[in-house]
Amino acid sequence: MIIIPAIDLKRGKCVRLLQGDFDLPTVYSDHPADIALQWQEKGAKRIHVVDLDGSRDGLPRNRDAVEAIVRVVNVPIEVGGGIRDMKTVDEYLTMGVSYVILGTVALKDRAFVLDACTAHPGHIILALDARDGMVAVEGWTESSDRSPAEIAAQYQGCGLESIIYTDIQRDGMESGVNIESTRLLAESVDIPVIASGGVANIHDIDRLLESGGPGIMGVITGKALYTGALKLEDAIARIAGFA
């Protein structure tokens, strides 16, 4: 399992939202690339970047900030938010992004997701963000009537690198990872799952290691790192020492 620090972009700044609420941002830095370099220096093997403005508007809004991050780090970068067409997928991967995250479009245009996986096998990640057990889309502003497992099953064997599962109600709240739902999703498909939302401290890392199951390949953490409730070095060391 790997620890993946999160950088959420809003108007070019590094922020965190509470439960996906765009009206409740906390700004942590005006220079996201510096934050990315900091996580790399502390041992991160991958960095998670989300264009929050893009996720709501349906097209990239923080491309310059993403490009600045790619220029300063040499670890893989995964990027999501507002990616709705192949041109954007191609542009991000050509820029040097390692993995492109598709979320809303997975519910609305399955053919596009399959085409992206065919064109870039192993470089496409599916994001499933759930509220009350159902997937939410359009930057978490709209809810659907479909479960994460139902949607994930449609993409079995298509070449996805992984699935990111986020419990929206826990995101940014440091209330603990929804391990049970994450584990159930991982058990339902043959696609590696990355847990996201709610990491509070090192005890959540312990709980994931002990109960998460073999299908969980990593965990994304944001606010806990920025507040100091979790130290990236400690989390990485805990995973390295887990038998």
Are 182 and 165 spatial neighbours (Cβ–Cβ below 8 Å)?
A: yes
Q: Catalytic residue among 57, 64, 115, 129, which? A: 129
| Distance in angstroms (rounded) separating the CA atoms of residues 233 and 213 | 23
Is 129 annotated in the active site? yes
| Distance in angstroms (rounded) separating the CA atoms of residues 88 and 97 | 11
CA angle 105, 108, 113 (to 5 degrees): 50
Are 62 and 12 spatial neighbours (Cβ–Cβ below 8 Å)?
A: yes
Which tokens belong to 60? 């990239």
Q: Catalytic residue among 8, 53, 171, 204, which? A: 8
Type of residue at 104: T
Is 8 annotated in the active site? yes
| Distance in angstroms (rounded) separating the CA atoms of residues 121 and 159 | 5
**DSSP character at residue 155:** T
CA distances from 149 to 19, 89, 190 (A): 21, 25, 11
Chain-centre distance for alpha carbon 144: 19
Which residues are tagged catalytic? 8, 129
